[in-house]
């Protein structure tokens, strides 16, 4: 590991430089020959999905099984950090940080738009008439699936392994550590390489999310103030958000991130209550209940969709597998971050707070916001399908408030929610990647990473997002991010194998005892 010394810690320059070099090359190629670059990467991703898309489905199912194992079995009683470990956060704060850092700004951007998109452009393999009521039900089913159990099961499976291996087996805070049960201590020879590649993929993932966030906030400003979306507005919004999430990350997990997540969760609850009270409540509950039943009845059918008779243009590639790859890209660092929150809790509590509780909340969110979108579209209040085609996915959520009381105020609040949501996600990633980038010395007394390292990663993330959103290389960056998702899927399958091996063979924490790395 190439390091530089400070008075109390060592910086892993390999992790930092690997991300800089890859993104630098990516940006140059994307600018010099954007169409060719994006086309080649897209062909590679299509080919991989054609050949290994089925494996992505099986990997997601494996994450669900691992999560349910620790939720329902006696092994779920194991305390993270050992029997003497004490929780550091209240249950609500724990849930709030997990919820907001896990989904980022995803649910304030995509669910209503997905329901409209899937209704009018369903999978060819589903054999549904676009715009039909059957297509609407199908759209709800997949939107529920994408934003509940598949998303959080991937994060929870990674988080369970990180929490147990780091805090019970007392291994270093590193993605490489999650492979310790499979390869033993020799895995640390490749620690910098593994952490560097994961840092690159997560930066690409956050930059992509940041790009969506900038687009949505800019469109909201356009709707509220008539300010056009252009280079200047992208830069101003991007710089402001970058400053805020970097500042709150530097203030630490128990200050900035905790305060942001707490308030963000409360605003989420308030916005959900607003839509539930003033929206088409009866319609939303009816369609939500019916489509949830359909989803549960068809869950294995949905989880195994591959559309084998179609080519590269199939829906399963650019919606199902795109989402699954995105989830896995975030999984290693999200798992590490969730592990930091869970000391003193049992593995079963970990699954309850990081899977069951978020799924219930997001079910309600999709039900009421999705119901509002469906009601507006099919009862003629608002042609969201046309809005989506004219102004993009980013215009859907804010346009919905035209059908509710106080639309201007509601849009302003939702823009605030979008910004806080991304800030919470970004500072969680900044904090986690920063911890992967240094080794504390014996005199290092802080719980959080050094501020200078966090500032570096925070600014780099914002710069990458702005560079690619302002240049045609953005699509190339997004596609390369998905390409890098395939090795991360393989990594997470190995992590799950190692975790289950520990518990099935009995090499796990017994009551009052922590298995040491040598014993494990």
Q: Is residue 509 part of a domain?
A: no
Q: What percent of the chain has pLDDT over 90?
A: 37
Beta carbons within 8 Å of 258's beta carbon, 6+ residues apart: 89, 93, 97
Mean pLDDT of 120-141: 94
Band (471; pLDDT cuts 50, 70, 90): low
**How far is C-alpha 311 from the geometric centre of its chain's CA atoms?**
28
Mean pLDDT of 227-254: 77
Q: Is residue 213 part of a domain?
A: yes
Q: Is residue 517 part of a domain?
A: no
Q: Is residue 1 part of a domain?
A: no
- Say how many domains are in the chain: 1
Q: Is residue 363 part of a domain?
A: yes
How far, CA to CA in Å, does 8 sit from each of 1, 414, 423, 449? 17, 43, 29, 11
Q: Which residue range forms the structural domain that includes residue 422?
A: 6-504
Q: Is residue 515 part of a domain?
A: no
pTM for the predicted model, two decimal places: 0.86
Nearest to 139 by CA among 111, 167, 161, 118: 118
- CATH number of the domain to which 264 belongs: 1.20.1740
Residue 90: phi and psi, rounded to 5, are -65, 160
Q: Which two tokens stand for residue 152?
A: 């959080």
- What is the rounded CA–CA span in Å between residue 430 and residue 434? 6
Q: Which two tokens stand for residue 126?
A: 């589903």
Band (7; pLDDT cuts 50, 70, 90): low
Query: How confident is the model over 40-49, as pLDDT tens digits?
Result: 777 888 888 8
User: How many alpha carbons lie under 13 Å from residue 512 in its C-beta half-sphere?
Assistant: 0
Q: Is residue 514 part of a domain?
A: no
Q: Is residue 49 part of a domain?
A: yes
Helix, strand or coil for residue 3? strand
| Contact of 449 with 16, CB cutoff 8 Å | no
């Amino acid at each position: 590991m190439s390091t530089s010394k400070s008075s109390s810690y060592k910086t892993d320059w390999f992790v930092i430089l690997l991300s800089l070099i890859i993104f630098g090359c990516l940006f140059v190629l994307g600018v010099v020959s954007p169409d060719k670059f994006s086309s080649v990467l897209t062909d590679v991703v299509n080919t991989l999905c054609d050949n290994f898309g089925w494996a992505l489905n099986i990997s997601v199912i494996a994450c669900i099984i691992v999560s349910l194992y620790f939720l329902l079995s006696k092994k779920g009683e194991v305390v993270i950090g050992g029997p003497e470990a004490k929780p550091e956060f209240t249950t609500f704060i724990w849930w709030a940080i997990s919820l907001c850092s896990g989904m980022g700004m995803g649910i304030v951007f995509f669910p209503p738009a997905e329901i409209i998109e899937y209704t009018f452009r369903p999978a060819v393999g589903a054999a549904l008439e676009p715009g039909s009521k059957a297509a609407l039900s199908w759209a709800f089913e997949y939107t529920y699936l994408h934003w509940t159990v598949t998303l959080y099961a991937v994060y929870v499976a990674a988080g369970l392994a990180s929490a147990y291996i780091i805090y019970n087996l007392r291994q270093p805070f590193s993605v490489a550590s999650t492979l310790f049960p499979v390869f033993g201590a020799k895995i640390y020879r490749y620690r910098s390489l593994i952490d560097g590649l994961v840092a690159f993929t997560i930066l690409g993932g956050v930059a992509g999310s940041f790009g969506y966030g900038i687009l949505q906030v800019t469109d909201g400003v356009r709707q509220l103030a008539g300010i056009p979306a252009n280079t200047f507005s992208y830069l101003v919004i991007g710089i402001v958000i970058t400053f805020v999430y970097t500042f709150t990350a530097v203030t630490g997990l128990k200050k900035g991130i905790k305060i942001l997540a707490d308030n963000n969760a409360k605003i989420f609850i308030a916005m959900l209550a607003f839509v539930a009270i003033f929206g088409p409540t009866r319609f939303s509950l009816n369609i939500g209940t019916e489509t949830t039943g359909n989803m549960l009845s068809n869950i294995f059918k949905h989880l195994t969709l591959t559309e084998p008779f179609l080519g590269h243009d199939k829906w399963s590639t650019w919606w199902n597998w795109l989402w699954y790859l995105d989830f896995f890209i975030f999984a290693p660092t999200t798992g590490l971050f969730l592990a930091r929150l869970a000391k003193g809790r049992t593995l079963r509590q970990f699954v309850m707070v990081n899977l069951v509780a978020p799924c219930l909340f997001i079910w309600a969110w999709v039900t009421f916001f999705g119901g509002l979108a469906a009601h507006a579209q099919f009862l003629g209040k608002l042609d969201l399908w046309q809005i989506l085609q004219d102004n993009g996915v980013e215009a859907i959520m804010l346009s919905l408030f035209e059908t509710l009381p106080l639309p201007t105020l509601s849009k302003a609040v939702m823009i605030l929610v979008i910004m806080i949501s991304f800030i919470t996600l970004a500072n969680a990633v900044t904090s986690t990647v920063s911890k992967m980038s240094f080794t504390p010395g014996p005199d290092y007394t802080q719980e959080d990473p050094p501020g200078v390292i966090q500032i570096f990663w925070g600014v780099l993330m914002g710069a990458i997002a702005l560079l690619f959103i302002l240049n045609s290389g953005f699509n190339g960056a997004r596609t390369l991010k998905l390409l890098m998702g395939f090795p991360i899927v393989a990594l997470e399958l190995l992590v799950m194998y190692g975790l289950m091996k520990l518990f099935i063979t009995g090499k796990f924490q017994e009551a009052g005892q922590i298995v040491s790395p040598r014993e494990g």
